[in-house]
Amino acid sequence: MSFLEFKDIKQFVEENAPSGKITKIDLEGPKIVLYTDDLPFFVENNEEIRNLATVLKKRIILRSTSSKLMDPEEARKTIEETIPGDAKITDIGFDPNFREVHIEAEKLGLVIGKGGTTLDEITKKTRWTPKLLRKPPIESETIRNIRKILYESSDARQKILQRIGRNIYRKPDSECDWIRITPLGGAREVGRSCFLLQTPESNVLIDCGINTAATNNGRFPDFRASRLAIDKLDAVILSHAHLDHCGFIPYLYKYGYTGPVYCTEPTRDLMILLQLDAIRIGEREENELPFTSKDVRRMIKYVIPLEYNEVADITPDMRLTLYNAGHILGSSIVHLHLGEGLHNLVYTGDIKFGDTRLLDAANYEFPRVETLIIESTYGGRYDIQPKRRDAEKELIHTIQETVKNKGKVLIPVFSVGRSQEVMMLLESYSRCGELDVPVFLDGMIWEATAIHTSYPEYLKRHIRHRIFNGYNPFITDTFEKVDSKKRESIIESKEPCVILATSGMMTGGPSIEYFKNLAEDPKNTLAFVGYQAEGSLGRRIQNGLSELPIEKNGRTVALKINMQVKTIDGFSGHADRRQLLGYSKKIHPKPRRVLIVHGEEKKAINLSMTLYEMFGFEATAPQNLDTIRLV
């Protein structure tokens, strides 16, 4: 079924739903909400709603009318009696606006029951719709605060979603007969990814990041040159939570944006964690961002989480589907169906098309693709990463040699992604008895890891299996969370250790503090396992920097860099050149046009030439502010 207005959806439901069973039809974002006085009927006859959803090609939510809901206290007792005690319920809360009962438990499988029978029983008895929340194996302040904000702002959020829904299913003012895209950042550079996708009817941003390694010039997307009216935006689509893709979204809400952000649920949580951390770092280092934590909290109410492979209308002429990108937890490839079958766009964001310990490789099968927008971080001619297994052996050997010399290994990491990859490697070798050294986690790593443990369904099957069976690999004696007080004792200790510290590019955060105190001792090692952007301190050290001026006791002194500096390629969450070419070969169906972004200029241009020569793609590497007409 093609794009529909709300009146068409209402008419279809009224004509095809069981007679007299639906009392009200409403919208919440891209979802259709049906209210009924007889919820048990639809639980027993679930094919009725399934058939409507299949024909409409939309998610349908079924809710009881408020007059039929069981009293919350009585419902609580019923739920506690219905769910087995082994499920270990930790919280039950009621949301009268959405007619939902939030059930938080350690073992959700027991809450669901075989074939969903326990949930069905709860729904039939209480008329409340169960919403399941996993109790994080590691307590996460971020997740707890997000759930609290969403619960307390339920009434406002429902009104926001209803308004967004009416904007999606509005009557179009004009036919979709042209489509264009403009990079506002992230073209021929790494950082501040932001792409404005436009039709006669719609204005949508895909990603909206900052360049953490840049100063004022080139730090943020260029909205002025595009004459972007923020309050005219229909939607923001976020591929993943790294700051170079999500870091500038709160700015939109500060200056008038009141539309949705579409992303996966773990992306939402990680985005908020990293944005709040960036605000704190900016304030501390007198390099403040042009928004505050208040804007981040406001943004939370507007985020609409989508699951992988869930199709959602986001404007009258755009339909969105997210697919696994293999880059970090919850990272997505964006597929957009534009117009009435006029054009299909795939934006990879950051992808990994190879073996990792955490995630499956990026999806490459789509319904249709005419234009592919692909990253090129490692798209240069010589950007061939070692095999992951070889990289892992090299890092373990580096640690073992440093420990043998009574030194410390500092590994600057991004709190999301590389941290957890390295943790899984160190846990594996420690479990096998091949590595016996404490591993300290400093910065936002522990909180990011807590979020990872809350979404095991996004992780590889064997990790998911271990978490579900009580052998969580992130919670072992090998790892120790560090605060600022503990940091000093680690630095002063003579005992060898491994330190994972943020930030990954050494542009701020605790990795700088450790570096300043460990750099002059040749027994210590600095091991880079992630990408170091042009202009970052990490890149300068990689390139052979031997002295660094630092402030010490009120005066500037030269810090001698005597520690061993090693770059261990192969851990990156980005596809290298070989994987990018492999992805371009396997993507199905084949695109006609390819736009190469998210890479330094030479790398992007070189990859575009190679894709043209090897596959015959119409491949280009646009510059920022180049507007490309797709149709």
Please give the Cα distance from 490 to 512 (Å, whole number). Answer: 14
CA neighbours closer than 13 Å in the CB half-sphere of residue 260? 28
Digit-coded pLDDT (tens) for 65-90: 999 999 999 999 999 999 999 999 99
Structure confidence at residue 312 (pLDDT) = 97
| Element of type H or E holding 63 | strand 60-64
Digit-coded pLDDT (tens) for 383-412: 999 999 999 999 999 999 999 999 999 999
Q: Is the model's pLDDT at 351 over the cut of 60?
A: yes
**Stretch 353-381: mean pLDDT:** 96
Please give the Cα distance from 298 to 181 (Å, whole number). Answer: 28
Structure confidence at residue 178 (pLDDT) = 97
Structure confidence at residue 122 (pLDDT) = 97
Burial of 304 (0-12, 13-18, 19+ CB in 10 A): buried
Structure confidence at residue 245 (pLDDT) = 98
Q: Is the model's pLDDT at 376 over the cut of 60?
A: yes
**Stretch 404-422: mean pLDDT:** 93
Polymer length in residues for the chain: 631
Structure confidence at residue 470 (pLDDT) = 80
Three-state DSSP class for residue 548 = strand
Q: Is the model's pLDDT at 261 over the cut of 60?
A: yes
Q: Is the model's pLDDT at 254 over the cut of 70?
A: yes
Write out the DSSP string of 134-199. Answer: EPPSS--HHHHHHHHHHHHTHHHHHHHHHHHHHHHTSPPSS-----EEEEEE-SSSSS--EEEEE-
Q: Is the model's pLDDT at 509 over the cut of 90?
A: no
Residue 281 — pLDDT band, cuts 50, 70, 90? Answer: confident
Q: Is the model's pLDDT at 95 over the cut of 90?
A: yes
Digit-coded pLDDT (tens) for 163-189: 999 999 999 988 999 999 999 999 999
List the one residue out of 183, 68, 81 whose CA is nearest residue 128: 68
List the one residue out of 415, 347, 403 whose CA is nearest residue 375: 347
Please give the Cα distance from 529 to 414 (Å, whole number). Answer: 10
Quickly tell me which residue has 């506690």 as its tokens: 80
199 and 338 Cβ atoms separated by less than 8 Å:
yes
Phi-psi region of 339 (alpha: psi -120 to 50; beta: other; left: phi over 0): left
600 and 617 Cβ atoms separated by less than 8 Å:
no
Looking at per-residue confidence, does 366 or 223 come out higher? Answer: 366
502 and 447 Cβ atoms separated by less than 8 Å:
no
Strand blocks (E) in 264-342: 303-305, 311-315, 318-324, 332-338
| Displacement of CA 495 from its chain's centroid (Å) | 37
49 and 60 Cβ atoms separated by less than 8 Å:
yes
Q: Is the model's pLDDT at 217 over the cut of 90?
A: no
Encoding tokens for residue 552? 């010490």
Q: Which are the contacts of 625, defined by CB distance < 8 A and separation ≥ 6?
A: 182, 183, 184, 222, 225, 226
Reported pTM: 0.93
Q: Is the model's pLDDT at 226 over the cut of 70?
A: no
Phi-psi region of 332 (alpha: psi -120 to 50; beta: other; left: phi over 0): beta
267 and 238 Cβ atoms separated by less than 8 Å:
yes
Percent of the chain with pLDDT over 90: 84
Helices and strands (H and E) in the chain: how many = 22, 28
Q: Set out the domains of the chain in order of their start, with CATH numbers.
A: 69-135 (3.30.300.20), 172-382+573-629 (3.60.15.10), 388-567 (3.40.50.10890)
Please give the Cα distance from 548 to 242 (Å, whole number). Answer: 28
Range with the poorest average pLDDT among 211-225, 296-310, 392-406: 211-225
Phi-psi region of 389 (alpha: psi -120 to 50; beta: other; left: phi over 0): alpha
Mean pLDDT score of the chain, rounded to an integer?
Answer: 94
Structure confidence at residue 1 (pLDDT) = 52
Structure confidence at residue 229 (pLDDT) = 84
Three-state DSSP class for residue 206 = strand
Q: Which amino acid appears at position 366 of this protein?
A: F
Q: Which are the contacts of 24, defined by CB distance < 8 A and separation ≥ 6?
A: 34, 35, 65
Structure confidence at residue 414 (pLDDT) = 87
Structure confidence at residue 450 (pLDDT) = 94
**Stretch 539-565: mean pLDDT:** 89
**Stretch 430-448: mean pLDDT:** 92
Cis-peptide, bond into residue 503, ω within 30° of zero: yes
Structure confidence at residue 225 (pLDDT) = 67
Cα separation values, 315 from 100, 159, 229, 239, Å: 27, 18, 17, 18
* Helices 388-404 + 418-431 axis angle, to 10: 70
